[in-house]
Amino acid sequence: MAQPIQLYNTLTRQVSPFEPIQPGKVGMYVCGPTVYDRAHVGHARSMVVFDAFSRYLRHRGWQVDYVRNYTDVDDKIIARANERGEEPVALAERFIDAFRQDAEALGLAVPDHEPRVSENIPEILALVQSLVDQGKAYPGSDGTVWYSVASFPAYGKLSGQRVDELRGDLVEGDKRASADFALWKAAKPGEPSWDSPWGPGRPGWHIECSAMSIKHLGETFDIHGGGLDLVFPHHENEIAQSEGATGKAYARWWMHNGLLTMKSGEKMGKSLGNVFDIQDALALYPAEAMRLYYLQAHYRSPLPWGDEALPEALAMLARLYEAIEVAEQMGGDEPAAKVAQDLGKEALTVLELGDRVKDRIYESLDDDFNTSKALSHAFELARAINRFSNHKKAKKRGGPVVATAIAGLRLLGPTLGLLQGSPSDFQDEVKAKRLPSLGLTVEAVEQLLQERVDAREARDWSRADAIRQEIEAKGVLVMDRPDGVEWRIRLS
RNA sequence: GGCGCUAUACCCAAGUGGUCUAAGGGAAUGGUUUGCAAAACCAUGACUCACCGGUUCGAAUCCGGUUAGCGCCUCCA
């Protein structure tokens, strides 16, 4: 059964209980990338946030229909293609492939629908036609069709902009008012174009999202998401076009994720040239570390990007995996309550926090998807587990005590897409991503470690320490465990 | 100029009227543990929530003002 959840709505500027059109079902449309370049870590935030949100809704029993588009017909794509002497369509195709690779590498679930502009031209034309028929749009002499903002009195309700306060006073072409925008752009030579009642042309920037969301989710649907920078004009114009055409309410909830900011405070953006590609980040950090970086802050807050961001997230993730590993190695088969009774208050704390963590995580995420708070509950539990693990009997008898706690930590998988692998897989991934830059291989490390093991057996401490120093100088930590030696990449 | 957002410890960050003598994480310092380490654990760390004033029995949380920064108004997740 779907559970109620509180959600902030940009449209109303307040948090309110989310109520879908159909009980138990959620239709959600999120603005995807314009594919003229590789996606950067700013795009990744949006993708991860909405991926996690849709996961959580599903986990809580909602039937989610998730649509994320590709804008593959666009001025910037054409411009980029011309620069490179490439066909726009081919260039878009290449970057869709690249985006899919990034999405997969980030562990994003594939949306239920991934429509593209180029495959929805009839739907777009129908929408434009409807607006023209109703007198809410008008063709210019060159075949460009403009939307008449004056025809939509509610214009500005999402962004709070007032038409008469808008700065743009440049009037291009046959535009009647400066705020009017192109639904359909007349083709220029060498551009991809489609036939239309107004001559060959292509869709304007905003119309595709209206057409594709309506196609898959209906004229009125539940949630529309995207980056905060899309509020105006993109989303405002979507509302104007869609509601103008259908006469019905468009998206009921608008969710906008905050932007990544640079140390200086300014946002990351392609136009500012300060971007960091997803693939560059994933070359050094596991996807879950990136996800954790995004999810440790509330989705609506600005999030600073810097050199410390990913290392810190990786350290956080390692901490959680460490606790899982320690817990999973505990044995025993007595009733949990009895063991806890015998082993003292650390055990009782684990039992108690373990029992509560699920509800606490749900409670946090139900409150406008407060991932930061949800994570804090997981960390609190991790500390309780670690504290308990120091008990001499914990390894032998603690298993039943930590069972629900492990399940509680693992709950971050289906809800947020975190902690989905085994602790050793996590360590292996970190090693695989880091060893090359350290100039090492698994074999090389393990050979050195074997020499150290031999030295230790011979109680040749100075030799053993010399090897440790050698290996640690290269960035590898050596950990002597009761049952053998382990090694890790040093994270800081 | 218009619309909007943010300001919490060295850093990230939650908290939006009393349970806050302010979660959680990273980093740091000291300790326990260890052959030595690492990891882990313990301790230390904001008498305070940008600043000023107000409302209130009570405010980080509400109101007003000031300062700083950011986003959008042109392409942008």
Q: Report the pLDDT value the prediction gives residue A275, as an integer from 0 to 100.
A: 75
Q: Could you give the residue range(s) of every CATH 1.20.120.640 domain in chain A?
A: 308-422
Q: What is the CATH number of domain A308-422?
A: 1.20.120.640
Q: Say whether the CB atom of A329 is under 7 angstroms from strand B.
A: no
A69 touches strand B (CB under 7 A): no
Range(s) within chain A of domains with CATH label 3.40.50.620: 6-284
> Which pLDDT belongs to residue A103?
96
A482 sits within 7 Å of strand B by its CB: no
Give nearest nucleotide to A318 (CA–C1'). B39
* pLDDT given at position A201: 95
Rounded to whole angstroms, the Cα distance separating A474 from A123 reads 59
Which residue's CA lies closest to nucleotide B26 at its C1' atom?
A: A312
Q: Give the domain A6-284 fold.
A: Rossmann fold (3.40.50)
What ipTM did this prediction achieve? 0.94
Separation between the CA of A253 and the C1’ of B52 (whole angstroms): 38
**pLDDT recorded at residue A190:** 83
Q: How far apart are CA A369 and CA A227, in angstroms?
A: 16
Res A482: pLDDT: 82
Segments of chain A scoring below 70 in pLDDT: 1-2, 167-173, 263-274, 492
Predicted confidence (pLDDT) per residue in A253-270, tens digit: 999 999 998 765 566 666
pLDDT for A113 = 98
A43 Cβ nearer than 7 Å to chain B strand: yes
Q: Is the CB of A196 under 7 A from strand B?
A: no
